[in-house]
Amino acid sequence: MVARQHAASRICQHCENGPAVIRCCDCRPHPFLCGQCDVRVHQGQVFHNRDSMTDAFFHPLPPTTCDVERVLTQCERLVPLEMPVTICGCLRVSSSVIAGQSIVVVTMNGRYDLRLPQIRCKACEATWSPGVEDLIRNDYWPATSHYSTVYATDVLFSFEELKMAAPGMSSQAFLRMLDQRTVRFGRSGNITADSFRKSFLEWEAVRFEVDKLCQEDHFDCPACSPDMLAVSVDGNRKHYRFKSAARSEEKAIFDGVFIANDDDVARFVDYVHTSTSHVSGRGVCVGQWSAARETSQKSSGKTDEEGLELAVCRHGVLLRALNMFRGEIFAYPLYLQKQMTCKTVTFFAMDVACKYWPYLQRVTEKCPELQELLNMRPFLSVFHAKAHDFKCEVKWSGAYQEGAGSTLGEEVEQCNAFLSRIAVTTKHMSKAGRIDMLTIMAMRWNQQKFDNLASTLARRYRKATIALQYQLHNLEAMKTDMDISDKQLERWIIDINEWAEDSVDLRTKRKAFDIVMAVRKLEEEKKILIAEMNKHWNSLCTRADTLKQMSSKLSNVTSGEMWGQLPDGIRGLQSLTMKNKQASNSLAKHAKKCYVQVLTETEINFDSDSEEYHTSSDSEQD
């Protein structure tokens, strides 16, 4: 460690002639260069990290400093960009590349102060300067319309990936790291936090619009389409936001995409409250389980938003959310339940379903347009039900609901565990910034769920199969030990449901009840998982067909009016569609392998399978 700091005299490893005066950390395995070779190599490689050796130790150099006869001299360096071969009809020798406007380039190694290239023809005095399209084509994202600052898209991707891995990390902490790397490699200058945040959100917004062009829906679970088995709803009080936080009149870029518009929610809540009489106080079941309430006033404390109310499917995919301003009142899950009516939903899960459902029935009497919400079935979250009264648990718990399988109704807690870590930073953001950041994180969370959905369903099916065999063995053992028949066992199940008592101890009936219900739930779960695998497969096939149709239309398009794109945009959309087709085919191939393997319990090699997947043949085979 100490020995490597010695700047020993060396010969240039490029020309093998002059003495080395520069060490480049990115030119390995030949890092030592003389002054002339350094200028020749790094005139184009401006992002390489170089050290001077002239003072008998390694001293970091910015790209705008070079060694001329052992004297450090300032020079101009240009941003590496793809440039046109010709800009006019004159001979190519009459054109030359000169330094244009100053520009700040931010990469994962920090800030660089460079110049934009400019081409000028000496014969006709024609000039070319890079525009926004040229910067984006070369993987730079302009921070302003005058592009005095640009970010390498790798920086934006890396920040997003770090936010997913460490949600509590702030953008300021990320920029401090980049500032430290700037200094470490011999450069100077800071990166503006506001500029970075705005650029990141604008970049995400454009990616979202591109996904819409490719007909991708970030908040629709492929295994829950077209009908959904269960929606789990719960509030997260950790997602409050201080009134003293940064204020801005800007509208959120992703307003209404994931988090519902505050005004729409407020109008709905006021309508429900004015149409229905409410009971004050907290919702308490027989077991003294306290959670949400029917009505509450807006807080007069230090917070503006008091939290988030989330709706999640049984696969942990975030579907919808809203900001809470009055605590966890029943009108909030009612609004989300109304939003879910665009699909056929069987179960509506909550941690206090035993109090919410009578409230819903009372509201629908005064608001008949909400009657369709009663088509869903109440589902008390399985683990929360353990804290309720036993009678309440038997009546409302999802563990005893026919058709629910092994659904827990607790899936929203997994999402809350992730989103709560982001709350460390969002509570200090502006209203718009908080909505945008939460929406971005929700989209990336869902994307991870989509990518792993095939493996998840296959793993669940395998676990359900093993658990079913175990419970069937327990059931047979219990029937033998207690010398009871299937008919008597079924009668006990009815007794528990009707809360009847006879000569048999209730605990004995409860034990039998739990085993029988576990067997039934696991049998249902296997059927549900097979149906969800089929839905996921059909969704993948539909996606492949959609991309195939898009590709066909784009290849035959004569103008970009249909897509709202210029010719270059149409060509880019063609390439993006081909990329998405390849990704879709790869995902379908992985899903097919997982599902066939788990359903047949065999190892199957699909290397010889076609890369194309179609609904006509493959879906029938699966």
Task: Verify that 246 and 177 share a domain, yes or no.
Answer: no
Residue 232 belongs to domain spanning = 222-444
What pLDDT does 606 receive? 35
Residues 6+ apart with CB under 8 A from 107: 47, 152, 154, 155
What pLDDT does 509 receive? 66
Is residue 604 scored above 50 in pLDDT? no
Is residue 603 scored above 80 in pLDDT? no
Percent above pLDDT 70 for the chain = 88
Q: How do residues 239-260 score in pLDDT, each as one tens digit? A: 888 887 766 678 899 999 999 9
Q: What are phi and psi of 458, to 5 degrees?
A: -65, -40
Task: Verify that 302 and 183 share a domain, yes or no.
Answer: no
What pLDDT does 612 receive? 37
Is residue 548 scored above 60 in pLDDT? yes
What pLDDT does 144 receive? 85
Least confident of 77-91, 169-183, 493-507, 521-535: 493-507
Given 17, 44, 74, which residue is the final one in a domain?
A: 74
Q: What are phi and psi of 132, to 5 degrees?
A: -60, -40
Confidence label for 400 from pLDDT (cuts 50, 70 and 90):
confident
Given 444, 466, 496, which residue is the final one in a domain?
A: 444
- Give the integer Cα–Cα distance in Å for 215 and 202: 20
Is 24 contained in some domain? yes
Cis peptide before 226 (omega within 30 of 0): yes
Is 529 contained in some domain? yes
What pLDDT does 293 receive? 57
More confident of the two residues 107 and 554: 107
Confidence label for 278 from pLDDT (cuts 50, 70 and 90):
low
What pLDDT does 303 receive? 81
Asked if 252 and 435 touch (Cβ cutoff 8 Å), the reply is yes
Mean pLDDT value across the chain? 86
What pLDDT does 332 receive? 94
Is residue 613 scored above 60 in pLDDT? no
What pLDDT does 187 receive? 94
Is residue 391 scored above 90 in pLDDT? no
Task: Verify that 40 and 161 share a domain, yes or no.
Answer: no
| Rounded (5°) CA angle 601-603-604 | 115
Task: Verify that 51 and 107 share a domain, yes or no.
Answer: no
Confidence label for 450 from pLDDT (cuts 50, 70 and 90):
very high
End-to-end CA distance of the chain: 59
Mean pLDDT calculated for residue range 557-584: 77
Task: Verify that 163 and 285 share a domain, yes or no.
Answer: no
Mean pLDDT calculated for residue range 254-273: 93
- Give the integer Cα–Cα distance in Å for 191 and 366: 57
| Rounded (5°) CA angle 310-311-312 | 115
Is residue 285 scored above 90 in pLDDT? no
What pLDDT does 552 receive? 84
Mean pLDDT calculated for residue range 425-445: 93
Task: Verify that 61 and 42 share a domain, yes or no.
Answer: yes
Is residue 622 scored above 60 in pLDDT? no
Is residue 214 scored above 50 in pLDDT? yes
Mean pLDDT calculated for residue range 508-513: 71
What pLDDT does 500 receive? 36
Is 79 contained in some domain? no
Using CA atoms in the order 609, 612, 618, 622, what is the torsion angle rounded to 10 degrees?
A: 70
Is 452 contained in some domain? no
Task: Verify that 433 and 576 share a domain, yes or no.
Answer: no
DSSP 557: -
Task: Verify that 351 and 410 share a domain, yes or no.
Answer: yes
CA–CA distances in Å: residue 467 to residues 458, 480, 602: 14, 20, 19
Given 146, 180, 213, which residue is the final one in a domain?
A: 213
Task: Verify that 479 and 611 share a domain, yes or no.
Answer: yes
Number of folded domains in the chain? 4
Q: How do residues 144-162 score in pLDDT, each as one tens digit? A: 888 899 999 999 999 999 9
Is residue 395 scored above 60 in pLDDT? yes
Select, from the ranges 4-13, 199-208, 352-361, 559-568, the one with the highest average predicted confidence (pLDDT): 199-208
Q: How do residues 80-107 score in pLDDT, each as one tens digit? A: 999 998 888 888 888 899 999 999 999 9
- Pairing mode of beta strands 307-313, 318-324: antiparallel
What pLDDT does 609 receive? 39
Task: Verify that 240 and 104 share a domain, yes or no.
Answer: no
What pLDDT does 475 receive? 85
Least confident of 15-24, 132-141, 475-484: 475-484
Is 451 contained in some domain? no
Is 130 contained in some domain? yes
Task: Verify that 122 and 270 share a domain, yes or no.
Answer: no
What pLDDT does 115 receive? 94
Other beta carbons within 10 angstroms of residue 562's beta carbon come to 11
Is 450 contained in some domain? no
Beta bridge mates, 24: 50
Confidence label for 338 from pLDDT (cuts 50, 70 and 90):
very high
What pLDDT does 507 receive? 64
Confidence label for 620 from pLDDT (cuts 50, 70 and 90):
very low
Task: Verify that 504 and 430 share a domain, yes or no.
Answer: no
Phi-psi region of 328 (alpha: psi -120 to 50; beta: other; left: phi over 0): beta
